[in-house]
């Protein structure tokens, strides 16, 4: 577990708060509250996204994919070399694979996903030595806030 006061974690807290705002948009729309932002090498936000599967009926409508598509459009190319993907939940295999394919330089995530995470918990797709590109991973930034949003969402779904 990363200490939220460690330099690698504090550097991404503002971006994670932006991702949390995106996650709240997803939750308000009835989708699993996961949000993501993509930062360029200078730290500027160049893409944002939140889960959008329910509205669009698109199984690839995960926050990370939506944010990376927006970032690629902003850059005018698919390569996101030097960029950082900040997401409230550890990426799944699809999103981890997409980040590798996009040449994302760093993945920063909040809550660990023990059931489907692919950036170090259940699987470690992004650091597989057989791949030609392996992003750096910074885990558990603002993890309590990120996890609480998911817990609240699923608790209200099960009770109601």
Chain center to CA of 142: 13
Which alpha helices (H) appear in the chain, and where do they start and end?
7-10, 13-28, 53-56, 63-75, 93-101, 143-159
Largest Cα–Cα separation, the chain: 46
CB 13 within 8 A of CB 152: no
Rounded mean pLDDT, 123-146: 95
Q: What is the pLDDT of residues 34-77, one digit of tens each?
A: 999 999 999 999 999 999 999 999 999 999 999 999 999 999 99
Give domain status of residue 135, yes or no: yes
**In angstroms, what is the C-alpha Rg of the chain?**
14
- At residue 10, the pLDDT reads 76
State if pTM tops 0.85. yes
Active site residue 64: yes
Look up the CATH number of the domain holding residue 145: 3.40.140.10
Which helix (H) or strand (E) element contains residue 11? none
Instruction: For residue 25, tell me if it sits in a domain.
Output: yes
Q: Over range 84-103, report the average pLDDT.
A: 98
Phi, psi of 59 (to 5 degrees): -65, -15
Which of 1-5, 13-17, 119-123, 124-128 shows the lowest per-residue confidence on average (mean pLDDT)?
A: 1-5
The pLDDT value recorded for residue 9 is 62
Reported confidence tier of residue 8, pLDDT bands at 50, 70, 90: low
- Average pLDDT over every residue of 101-113: 98
CA–CA distance, 79 with 40 (Å, rounded to integer): 12
Q: Decide which of 81 and 6 is more confident.
A: 81
Q: What pLDDT, on a 0 to 100 scale, did the predictor assign at position 6? A: 54
Task: Indicate the number of domains in the chain.
Answer: 1
Is residue 146 annotated as involved in ligand binding? Answer: no
The answer to whether the annotation marks 62 as part of a ligand binding site is: yes
For 42, the domain range is: 8-158
Residue 144 covered by a domain: yes
pLDDT-derived band at 111, boundaries 50, 70, 90: very high
Identify whether 102 is part of a domain.
yes
Catalytic entry in 8, 22, 54, 64: 64
């Amino acid at each position: 577990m990363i200490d939220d006061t460690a330099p690698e974690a504090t550097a991404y807290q503002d971006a994670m708060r932006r991702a949390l705002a995106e996650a709240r948009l997803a939750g308000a729309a009835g989708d699993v509250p996961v949000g993501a932002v993509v930062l360029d090498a200078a730290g500027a936000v160049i893409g944002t996204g939140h889960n959008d599967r329910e509205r669009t009926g698109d199984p690839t409508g995960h926050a990370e994919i939506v944010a990376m598509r927006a970032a690629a459009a902003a850059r005018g190319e698919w390569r996101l070399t030097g960029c950082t993907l900040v997401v409230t939940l550890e990426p799944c295999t699809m999103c981890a694979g997409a980040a590798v394919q996009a040449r994302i330089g760093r993945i920063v995530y909040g809550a660990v996903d023990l059931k489907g995470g692919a950036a170090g918990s259940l699987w470690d797709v992004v650091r597989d030595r057989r791949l030609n590109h392996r992003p750096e991973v910074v885990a558990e930034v603002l993890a309590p806030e990120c996890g609480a949003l998911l817990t609240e969402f699923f608790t209200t779904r099960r009770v109601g």
